Amino acid sequence: MKGLSLGPKVRKSLKRKVLVVVGIIIALVFIFPIIWMAEMSFKTKAQNIALPPLFVFTPTFENYSQAIDKYNFFSFLKNSLIVVVPTVLLSLLVSLPASYGFSRFNFKKKKDIAFWILSLRMAPAMAVILPYFVIGGFLRILDKPIILIVAYLSFNVPFAIWMMRSFFDEIPLEVEEAGMVEGLSRLGVFLRISLPLARGGLAATAILCTIQSYNEFAFALFLTSFNTRTLPTVVTQFQSHMGILWGPMAATSLLATFPIMIAAILVRKSLVSGMSFGMVKGK
């Protein structure tokens, strides 16, 4: 780090220590609620409403066995995956050629079309849910995985096109030209050269699509009711007339979100560029 003041060494090292301490405090503010949720998942019912709140206690695994046996965690996880896996695969299938087209071709109205696609990503969920709800009723597909798979394409496809486009943009043209000289068709270049070179970006795009589909709440709440409930809506059902069942709720939440958080940390470098549709490059 390059210090901003040019004081003596002592002052500089003190300043550095303060910086580290403040950094740790900032980080704690953001992680504490998640750690607290983890603690809740290992507490008994009484410990969870204890006053003052307990920070140190003997953990119990009761909530986890309840989440799995009584509240059918795995059957809801299955519901989530039945929606998420097809929607991510379909999104990539549709978006990959499109993103390559936007990256490598010049054509009329290219920019307008690209920005039109981007604007679709920004539509409010509620404006999509109402027509989907009515049309879904006509087609008798409410509460079936297919309606969520299609609904999630509406935000995944524009997102994946923009994100993958920025990864294809990074591949030098010379590499592709060399392939063409060797007699590969445009499709051959795409499949044999560009796609393998962009595989890191492809993995990041797939993970981000998975995260946003897996976390989605509003569509799932209104377009499904009993048979296709996905995890984000299930966690809200731990409310009884006795109040919220904090322990099982926290255990279910942690089981549901843990894989997502790990995946996000793994692709942290692409996260920033992904979340800004490639507008800001990640570091």
* 95 lies in the binding site for another protein (CB under 8 A): yes
Closest CA to 91 of 211, 192, 191, 176: 211
**DSSP string across 177-199:** HHHHHTT--HHHHIIIIIHHHTH
When binding is defined by CB under 8 A, the residue of 13, 119, 225, 227 that contacts another protein is 119
- Strand locations in the chain (E): 239-240, 243-244
* 17 lies in the binding site for another protein (CB under 8 A): no
Site for another protein in 187-216 (CB under 8 A): 187, 211, 214-215
* 134 lies in the binding site for another protein (CB under 8 A): yes
Can you tell me the distance from the alpha carbon of 61 to that of 253, in angstroms, rounded to the nearest whole number? 14
**Minimum distance from CB of 62 to another protein (Å)?**
18
When binding is defined by CB under 8 A, the residue of 34, 89, 139, 175 that contacts another protein is 34
* 178 lies in the binding site for another protein (CB under 8 A): no
When binding is defined by CB under 8 A, the residue of 92, 153, 164, 193 that contacts another protein is 153
CB 148 within 8 A of CB 91: no
Site for another protein in 44-73 (CB under 8 A): 48-53
The two structure tokens encoding residue 245: 């069942």
Residue position matching structure tokens 């965690």: 73
* 185 lies in the binding site for another protein (CB under 8 A): yes
Can you tell me the distance from the alpha carbon of 207 to that of 257, in angstroms, rounded to the nearest whole number? 14
**Minimum distance from CB of 195 to another protein (Å)?**
13
**Minimum distance from CB of 94 to another protein (Å)?**
5
Nearer to another protein, 10 or 181 (CB): 181
Neighbours of 255 (CB within 10 A): 19
Q: Which amino acid is at 83?
A: V
Neighbours of 107 (CB within 10 A): 8
- Segment contacting another protein by CB under 8 A, of 58-66, 69-77, 198-206, 227-235: 227-235
* 118 lies in the binding site for another protein (CB under 8 A): yes
Size of the site for another protein (CB under 8 A): 108
DSSP 8-state secondary structure symbol assigned to residue 170: T
When binding is defined by CB under 8 A, the residue of 161, 193, 202, 223 that contacts another protein is 161
